[in-house]
Chain A
Amino acid sequence: MDKKRSIVKKPDRGSFLLDHNSECTSIKNKYLKCLKKHNNDHLSCRNYSKEYFICRMDKNLLERQDLNELGFKENELDQDSRIKNFKDVYSYNIKMENKNKLK
């Protein structure tokens, strides 16, 4: 494998249409606020990103598709930040690894 060259791939579904009229900006702001609250843990704010996609589809900024195809499962619950009680990712991963070893 050519280690010197970085791997750059085309996106699977192309490019997002630009939201020139800021139609979905309010939902985006809610999402970002949620991220700040939960220490940037994505899983806690998945609901808002789902809403953002629904908004885009409603305003014709995105073609209609099943949210399952975008990786959003039906019964996802908002969780508290996974990373809140850990000082960094490394310590979280080590803890999880040890927990699995004990099982």
Chain B
Amino acid sequence: MGGLWHPGWRPVSFCGWRWIHPGSPARAAERVEPFLRPEWSGTGGAEEGLRWLGTRKHCSLPARHPALQPRRRPKSCGPFTRAHVEEWRQRNKTTLTYVAAVAVAMLGASYAAVPLYRLYCQTTGLGGSAVAGHASDQIENMVPVKDRIIKISFNADVHASLQWNFRPQQTEIYVVPGETALAFYRAKNPTDKPVMGISTYNVVPFEAGQYFNKIQCFCFEEQRLNPQEEVDMPVFFYIDPEFAEDPRMINVDLITLSYTFFEAKEGHTLPVPGYN
């Protein structure tokens, strides 16, 4: 540590700690002159020399009595003049302004991202799915995996406040992955008033849910039943052919599709997965 402190590396700001005693270079010159070389004296040579020295060391300080002025390190000492320092200050200010502007812009962008993304989804019609246009191509070109039969069983539930009779019209159906299948549910409104219902579904086992693709159904939208009306509700779905290649699904032979109906209140919408 001590070895690093080479005297030659003394920082510039150390200058000025040596306080040459008061006043004008003229008075100092009077004292110094006898010791200077002959050619220096005469035409105010010593004075000029000291003045030059003075501009280097005490560049911006007015001469003052040391008792009045507190002892401090002048900042604008050494090879950097006040102009330099001012320029640095100016540059620092502009840099800081830029940095602050960038930070505020980032904050604004994060707030703006939500409606912008929604707009993007609406225009490109992606609707929440990461890959566009894979559904209809896939159905046309799907090859059923004939060797693997899956039993789909159906379940129907109704929330306590909804008085509909809701049930599946077939207990189970056997399909293979890659085959589109149709299934029916039935709902009856036994009351004397029209009732609006909205439904959601889930698939058990839930890892199989990712392969269960519904082409069309009756979920997530309000369905209205008039008094004493009974109506068929179809579900058109398929199991993705990749189901047969997933090692986790090797023991899955039964998938249960379960629908639940709730009463739809005025202006109440179920949070639909993805964007509408």
Contacts and interface: CB of A to CB of B under 8 A. Distances in A.
A89 B149 contact: yes
Contacts of A22: 231-232
Interface stretch (B48-56, B61-69, B202-210): B202-210
Contacts of A9: 209, 213-214, 273-274
A71 B149 contact: no
Nearest to B253: A89
Given A7-B209, A89-B254, A12 B148 contact: no
B139 to A, nearest CB: 5
A20 interface: yes
B262 to A, nearest CB: 14
Interface residues of A, number: 46
Given A16-B233, A35-B170, A70 B139 contact: yes
Task: Report the contact-size class of chain B (Cβ under 8 Å from the partner).
Answer: 35 or more
Nearest to B135: A12
B166 interface: no
A28 to B, nearest CB: 6
A43 B147 contact: no
A42 B139 contact: no
B200 interface: yes
A97 B147 contact: yes
A64 B232 CA distance: 20
Interface stretch (B82-90, B104-112, B180-188): B180-188
Interface string B155-173: 0000000000000011111
Contacts of B201: 8
Contacts of A69: 136, 139-140
B202 A6 contact: yes
B132 to A, nearest CB: 12
A80 interface: no
A49 B175 CA distance: 14
Given A20-B229, A42-B173, A71 B238 contact: yes
A90 B234 CA distance: 27
Contacts of B176: 43
Given A18-B223, A93-B147, 13 more contacts: A6-B204, A6-B206, A6-B209, A7-B209, A10-B128, A10-B272, A16-B216, A20-B226, A40-B174, A70-B236, A71-B139, A89-B174, A92-B149
12 contacts: A9-B214, A9-B274, A19-B231, A42-B179, A42-B181, A42-B182, A43-B179, A71-B179, A72-B180, A88-B253, A92-B149, A100-B147
Interface of B: 127-128, 135-136, 139-140, 142, 146-151, 169-176, 179-182, 184, 200-204, 206-207, 209-210, 213-221, 223-224, 226, 229, 231-234, 236, 238, 253-254, 272-274
